[in-house]
Amino acid sequence: MKEYGSLLIIIVISVLIGLIVEVLSYMLAKRDTEREKLSAFECGFDAFESSRDKFDVRFYLVGMLFIIFDLEASYLYPFAVTIESIGTSGIVGMVDFILELLLGVIYIYKVEALE
Amino acid sequence: MEGIIVYIFGILGLYSGVGVITGKTGVQSAINLILVFVNMCGVLICLGIDMLGLLLIVIYVGAVAILFLFVIMMVGEEEVKKGGTLGKGVLVVLSIVLLNREVRESNKGLNMIMEGEYGKVLELWDRLDTVKVLGENLFTSNIYNVIAVGVLLLVGMIGGVVLGKEK
């Protein structure tokens, strides 16, 4: 897996940079701890509600559709690499696979699920 | 070199796996879960299964973990119940014991492979193009399974739209 060596170097460098920034700011900065500094600040008031909002269920729908097309794309990578050697049946099967998902896309647009 | 990196990714993955169990809030646990997936991707790439490792990132980190975050934020922080300290402790100890056993077993298997004639197979394995092997197996003898997966994805898509559509 020599192709991934440069990726490893990038990972190591990014981890190092993150560590350096954290450790330097931890060691060098002057710290005066005070309780008020840690409390939430919202225009001078205490926070009215939890900062984590509840989502509409439609965001979840978008996420789910994203997963499905993500999976479809992950089938396309090996297909694109081996398109020369899989023969007619493989290509016809893959076209069928894509047509099925195209049916889904047409359905989504028909019922306007993403409006 | 690769062996050392496998162990580094494995230990980091184990550490974040414990973090999934002991995280204070659901969001912390979900972010630790993303870390587990990323580390396991590193392990898979070091073992030479690069296609599956990258798919782990694309599918699990890109989609499933985000959906976990959505669910946690939709349900609300308060309603995500976590076990008590005793339950967490038991889980951590149990997972460490089980993992210890697994590592010993798999080391045994690996030594057997390296000593025997399987070493040649491993050499071949190093020069293998996993994307090509996956594609050639998937689209020749298993093409009907691919079509079935397409139908399943279509059903999932329509089911999600029917359930999630605004009434």
In angstroms, the CA B156 to CA B27 distance is 26
Q: Chain B closest CA to A107's CA: distance in Å?
A: 8
Q: Please state whether the predicted TM-score (pTM) of the whole model is above 0.90.
A: no
In angstroms, the CA B142 to CA B136 distance is 9
Q: Chain A closest CA to B94's CA: distance in Å?
A: 31
Residue A78 to residue B165, Cβ atoms within 8 A: no
Name which of B125, B143, B144, B149 to mutate to probe chain A: the one with the most chain A Cβ atoms within 10 A of its Cβ.
Answer: B143
On the question of pLDDT at A93 being above 80, the answer is yes
Cβ-contact A112, A105 below 8 angstroms: no
Q: What is the 3-state secondary structure (H, E, C) of B85-149?
A: HHHHHHHHHHHHHHHHHHHHHHHHHHHHHHHCCHHHHHHHHHCCCHHHHHHHHHCCCCHHHHHHH
Closest partner residue to A90 among B76, B131, B139, by Cβ? B139
User: Which residue on chain B is closest to A104 by alpha carbon?
Assistant: B154
Closest partner residue to B161 among A61, A81, A94, by Cβ? A61
User: Which residue on chain A is closest to B45 by alpha carbon?
Assistant: A1
Structural tokens at position B142: 């298993």
Per-residue model confidence as pLDDT tens for chain B (167 residues): 667 788 888 888 888 888 887 777 777 888 899 999 999 998 888 877 888 888 888 888 888 877 787 777 777 665 555 556 777 777 777 777 777 777 777 666 666 666 665 566 666 666 677 888 888 888 888 889 999 999 999 998 888 888 877 65
* Total CB pairs under 8 A between chain A and B: 144
Residue B70 to residue A77, Cβ atoms within 8 A: no
Structural tokens at position A68: 């499905």
pLDDT of residue B120: 62
Name which of A14, A53, A55, A111 to mutate to probe chain B: the one with the most chain B Cβ atoms within 10 A of its Cβ.
Answer: A55
Over residues A53-85, the pLDDT tens digits come to 666 777 778 888 888 888 888 999 899 989 888
- The one-letter amino acid at A47: A
pLDDT of residue A18: 95
Residue with the larger pLDDT of the pair B109 and A17: A17
Q: How many CB atoms lie within 10 A of CB B135?
A: 24
Give me the phi and psi of B81, to 5 degrees please. Answer: -85, 135
Distant-in-sequence, close-in-space partners of B128: CB < 8 Å, separation ≥ 6: B48
Instruction: Please name the residues between 37 and 66 in chain A that touch chain B, using a CB distance below 8 Å.
Output: 50, 52-55, 57-61, 63-66
If pLDDT is split at 50, 70 and 90, which confidence band does A1 have? low
Q: Does the beta carbon of B62 lie under 8 angstroms from any beta carbon of chain A?
A: yes
Distant-in-sequence, close-in-space partners of B115: CB < 8 Å, separation ≥ 6: none
Distant-in-sequence, close-in-space partners of B25: CB < 8 Å, separation ≥ 6: B77, B80
Backbone CA torsion sign across B94, B98, B101, B107:
negative
If pLDDT is split at 50, 70 and 90, which confidence band does A24 have? very high
pLDDT of residue A95: 92
CA A90 to the chain's CA centroid: 31
Average pLDDT, chain A: 83
In angstroms, the CA B15 to CA B24 distance is 15
Cβ-contact A108, A65 below 8 angstroms: yes
Cβ-contact B19, B29 below 8 angstroms: yes
Question: Nearest-CA neighbor of A67 among B40, B67, B37?
Answer: B67
Q: Does the beta carbon of B148 lie under 8 angstroms from any beta carbon of chain A?
A: no
